[in-house]
Amino acid sequence: MTHHQSFERSESPRASHRLPLVAFSLASLLCAQQAFAFGFQDVADQAKSLAKQNYSQPESNLPDELAKLKYKDYAKIQFKADKSLWRDENLPFDLSFFHQGMHYDTPVTINEIDGPQADDVHEVKYSPDDFDFGDLKLDKSKLSDLGFAGFKVNYPINSATKQEVMVFLGASYFRVIGENMRYGLSGRGLAIDTALSSGEEFPRFKEFWIAKPEKGDKYLTIFALMDSPSMTGAYRFILRPGEDSVVDVKSRIFRRHEVTKLGVAPLTSMFLFGPSQPNGQLNYRPAIHDSNGLAVNSGDNDWLWRPLQNPKKLQVNSFDANSPRGFGLLQRSHDFHDYEDLHDRYDLRPSAWIQPTNDWGQGQVELVQIPTPNETNDNIVAYWRPTNLPGVDQPLNYDYRISWTLNEPKYHSPDNAWVSQTRRSQGEVLQDNLIRKSDGTTEFVLDFKGPNLKSLDGSNTPKANVSAGDNGDISRTEVQKNPATGGYRLTLNVKPKDSAKPIELRAYLTDGQGGALSETWSYMLQAANE
């Protein structure tokens, strides 16, 4: 597999914009740490001790009839709602559980924390009687020694009836939704050696502790112990469901040995096709993706937008982000007509925005894009990668907030416009007979939106700063007012000097005086043979 490594750096002066972050409430964080018998330091002590031991590969205890299940049959196994933990106690949250099956073949230990005494921490026991197996013909006598594959958190987010709002299932994966959302992209505890020829290592959460909520609580606290051949870790997740569901993450990582690549706060998503990379086959759906771009707000407050692609070869790109203010995989359109999919409702898939809450130091946001033939594969990964790590005996501390949202402008600076859509097509010229003819270029149409653009009058049209690296010739750029959006449309045409090489494109709007009005749009136009 071929890796394309691209290091993006700012080429333009930026005004100092303050990001309108969602307020971090110290009081709410403190109240989330009730007087329980078990807490984050207990998990950290276990992780530190575990890191001093040799890694023990978990063994599957799954019978063949469960291990060989296809997804359609595995989905028939449902936890009985009336068996949910805390369901009959009139609490704001309750828990239900996933059965083992398919590749979810090793159990995780799940504990309840129910008070300040040592004996108030106890394991939630698995029983096959708590599950409905549908029409599957299984011998329950073979299931008694199994365990849970994961769990889901239920909360009345859209109505008085509880529905799942957070799921932990598989390795260190978790997903979250807010009001009127559908599950889309996933978070992960940690990414190790992603997209390396040596192979990726997938840490797993091997044990959880969930603090029993009190009546009236708007949050749920979850602790997790992570383990892998290279690393162990302690995690605390404080979930606050709402219009935007928010998860505050505290992590402390211990290493058994050095790793080549560490990915912090990884996000995993799917991109098959869309207007920025149209589908090559006939399809009534204009777009199929859980996310359509990577946004990065670097430590010096530069904003960058990288539309996602489904490449023909593995593609890895890095973007400078020392002490980042935020980054995320975003779904910037939530208009049903941009997807036309009644079944999967990609318009309701949330974006995930990550904001560090301590100083992460020097590093880059890395984007990994993997070829996929269909929408069943998560082919997009993004994470922050530290430039240097301290000695292996030093723990690593990365704390951050993840906001799951359908309102992406809420997390963007209001005096800095953003790219609302990227459309790609062949370039054309209008002939004297009014018939359009291909001119051999690739044309990109970018729509910029933002409160700062609406304040511009018609005599003050923004200018475009466009670059195409060493391999691109820009034949045309045009900026026009877009009355349909209240923003501005930039059209640019580009042609490669060498068709066997990619073109790195960058573009942003300026006020004509050197001041940036928008984030920087960044796109790699792949080589013709790719």
The arrangement of secondary structure in 26-411, i.e. its CATH architecture, is Distorted Sandwich (2.70)
Which residues make Cβ contacts (< 8 Å) with residue 496, sequence separation at least 6? 471, 472, 473, 503, 525, 527, 528
Q: For the chain, give every domain's residue range.
A: 26-411, 416-525
pLDDT tens digits along 398-443: 999 999 999 999 999 989 999 999 999 999 888 888 888 888 999 9
Residue 3's φ and ψ, nearest 5 degrees, are -105, 130
- Chain centre distance of CA 86: 30
Mean pLDDT of 103-112: 96
Q: Which of 18-32, 321-335, 340-354 has the lowest mean pLDDT?
A: 18-32
pLDDT tens digits along 440-480: 999 999 999 999 998 887 678 899 999 999 999 999 999 99
Tell me how far apart the alpha carbons of residues 355 and 350 are, in angstroms, rounded to a whole number: 16
**pLDDT score recorded for residue 269:** 98
Where does residue 323 fall: left (phi above 0), alpha (psi -120 to 50 degrees), or beta otherwise?
Answer: left
State pTM to two decimals: 0.92
pLDDT tens digits along 11-70: 333 333 333 344 444 444 444 445 678 999 999 999 999 999 999 999 998 999 999 999
Which among 157, 207, 166, 208 has a CA at the least distance from the CA of 187?
166
Of residues 17 and 250, more confidence is placed in: 250
Mean pLDDT of 157-185: 97
Tell me how far apart the alpha carbons of residues 524 and 30 are, in angstroms, rounded to a whole number: 45
**pLDDT score recorded for residue 517:** 96
Is residue 202 pLDDT above 60, yes or no? yes
Is residue 213 pLDDT above 60, yes or no? yes
Mean pLDDT of 309-336: 97
**pLDDT score recorded for residue 353:** 98
Q: Which of 43-47, 251-255, 377-381, 458-462 has the lowest mean pLDDT?
A: 458-462
The arrangement of secondary structure in 416-525, i.e. its CATH architecture, is Sandwich (2.60)
Which residues make Cβ contacts (< 8 Å) with residue 401, sequence separation at least 6? 22, 24, 246, 247, 248, 249, 354, 355, 357
Is residue 10 pLDDT above 50, yes or no? no
How much is the mean pLDDT over the chain?
Answer: 92
For residue 497 the two structure tokens come to 């000097």
pLDDT tens digits along 113-146: 998 887 899 999 999 999 999 999 998 888 988 9
On the question of a common fold for 26-411 and 416-525, the answer reads: no
Measured at the CA of 145, the angle between CA 141 and CA 149, to 5 degrees, comes to: 115
